[in-house]
Amino acid sequence: MVTWKPDPSFYPSPRMAMKAAPEAIAYVVAFDPTRAVPDELAVVDVDPASATYGQILNALAMPNVGDELHHFGWNACSSCLCPNAPHPHAERRYLVVPGLKSSRIHIIDTKPDGRSPSIVKVIEPGEVAERAGYSRPHTIHCGPEGIYVAALGNAEGKAPGGIFLMDHESFDVRGQWEMDRGPQQLSYDVWWHLGHDTLVTSEWGTPDTFENGLIPDILLGAKYGRRLHFWDLHKRKHLQTIDFGDKYQLVFELRPAHDPTKAYGFVNCVLSLEDLSSSIWVWHRDGEKWGVTKVIDIPAEPANADQLPPMLKGFNAVPPLVTDIDLSMDDRFLYVSCWGTGDLLQYDVSDPLKPKLTGKVRIGGIVSRASHPGAKNGALNGGPQMVEISRDGRRIYFTNSLYGAIDEQFYPDGISGWMVKLDAQPDGGIAFDEKFFVEWPKSHRPHQVRLQGGDCSSDSYCYP
């Protein structure tokens, strides 16, 4: 008799996920900034015992050019084990890979051989627009009942952006998620507190304000995203907006606590218009509503104008440009990517309102151009950008490209892609793995990393 069992890579709790076997491969999306050849999904060997450790094993080309692959995710994950999940026997098998520029969504099968994935379906932008009324799919999250996709624009590429759902097995676009969006117009990231029936969204801007690069007048006019939105997850209804204030711009990545009993999370603000600093904030319960508290300020660093790109010459400083954050599975360590200065920072956030800096490395950076022990070409450009943590919290991977048009604004000579790995100590402290430096092929730039079997920004849990 065949026994129907949940996917072995689904874990009821974050504690159990931390005990899983280490990942052996990583999937990395990479795009061609010139749009001359198709973007790719690369397969990287991350098994230290392998003869091909730290090498690209395979690169799956997309069927078209100009997609700008950006963020991607799994079709199903540990949230399928929640009490209200109608699909506990789904399979973590497919990667859902959208093109932020093209609005095209690729469904990639990682079985039977995870090192040789294949494209099994392509959803064209017209289908997304017709069924959901959205375009520019950005964030993919596997939820208990399907795939949540945050889109940055409506069907015409204007406001409002929002969320639509896809079926996790057929990949049909079901439709718009929001029943009542309230005042929400801009979109970026989406995540939730399943145990508190709350969904959270953040903001960037409409596609016409970033697809050709950040627009200084919009940035200095505080017209990019600066708000968090809180929603009733079950009723799909907007409940509350928190405005960070007009000096804060680009409120981006949402990282809620993995422990479902905890009602807090972290979000980064890329830029303060007052002093070019970046900041980290905690959202948390405040009586019957939600509140936010700024817990980390990361200052800009003085620099000579002749070392700076045109966009920064008048400021005589390098902003940290915190463009990504990630939270370890035990909710103890927060990792912060400073794409401008080149720092990757580790904070102990055991007390989320009182973080303590416990580790720091520097690589790349607008001015620093810091190298890596495994690099052959000395000074490196780009800086820590998309960061991903292994389930057990011992390995941290990151890449160095943000977004094609924005890369050129801060790194005018272009970005030579790389991927690196850090080793983390159990009680704090990080260091480069000197044997892991992936120099990316010149035709592409790497962006987001996903780990085999799940990682610290892919899954959500319903049991502590």
Query: Domain spans of the chain?
Result: 14-451
Would you say residue 287 has pLDDT above 80? yes
Write the CB contacts of 113 (distance below 8 Å, at least 6 apart in sequence): none
Would you say residue 1 has pLDDT above 60? no
pLDDT 10s digits, 187-199: 999 999 999 999 9
Choose between 86 and 224: higher pLDDT.
224
What is the mean predicted confidence (pLDDT) over 256-266?
98
What is the mean predicted confidence (pLDDT) over 50-64?
98
CA–chain centroid gap for 314, Å, is 30
Cα-flanking dihedrals φ and ψ of residue 434, to 5°? -65, -20
CA–CA distance, 269 with 255 (Å, rounded to integer)? 13
Distances (CA, A) of 327 to 15, 139, 387: 14, 17, 10
Residues of the chain with pLDDT > 70, as a percent, come to: 99
**Per-residue pLDDT band at 304 (split at 50, 70, 90):** very high
Buried/exposed 91-125: b ≥16 CB within 10 Å, e otherwise: bbbbbbbbbbbbbbbbbbbbeeebeebebeebbeb
pLDDT 10s digits, 391-404: 999 999 999 999 99
CA–CA distance, 188 with 200 (Å, rounded to integer)? 10
Cis peptide before 112 (omega within 30 of 0): yes
What pairing do the DSSP bridges indicate for beta strands 105-109 and 118-123? antiparallel
CA–CA distance, 263 with 243 (Å, rounded to integer)? 19
pLDDT of residue 450: 98
Mean residue pLDDT across the chain: 97
Would you say residue 422 has pLDDT above 80? yes
Structure tokens at 433: 């793995």
pLDDT of residue 357: 98
Give the DSSP letter of residue 21.
P
pLDDT 10s digits, 324-335: 999 999 999 999
Distances (CA, A) of 216 to 159, 209, 448: 20, 10, 26
What is the mean predicted confidence (pLDDT) over 130-137?
98
pLDDT of residue 2: 60
The length of the chain is: 464
| Residues forming beta bridges with residue 288, ordered by sequence position | none
What fold is seen in the domain 14-451? Methylamine Dehydrogenase; Chain H (2.130.10)
pLDDT 10s digits, 140-192: 999 999 999 999 999 999 999 999 999 999 999 999 999 999 999 999 999 99
pLDDT of residue 5: 83
Q: Which of 379, 421, 364 is nearest to 53 (CA)?
A: 421
Would you say residue 20 has pLDDT above 70? yes
Would you say residue 303 has pLDDT above 80? yes
> 217 in the Ramachandran plot: left (φ > 0), alpha (ψ -120 to 50) or beta?
alpha
Neighbours of 318 (CB within 10 A): 25
Determine if the pTM surpasses 0.95: yes
Would you say residue 19 has pLDDT above 60? yes
CA–CA distance, 143 with 116 (Å, rounded to integer)? 26
CA–CA distance, 218 with 212 (Å, rounded to integer)? 13
pLDDT 10s digits, 63-112: 999 999 999 999 999 999 999 887 778 999 999 999 999 999 999 999 99
Asked if residue 276 lies in contact with residue 261, where contact means CB atoms within 8 angstroms, the answer is no
**Per-residue pLDDT band at 3 (split at 50, 70, 90):** low
CA–CA distance, 40 with 35 (Å, rounded to integer)? 12
What pairing do the DSSP bridges indicate for beta strands 56-61 and 118-123? unpaired
Would you say residue 210 has pLDDT above 90? yes
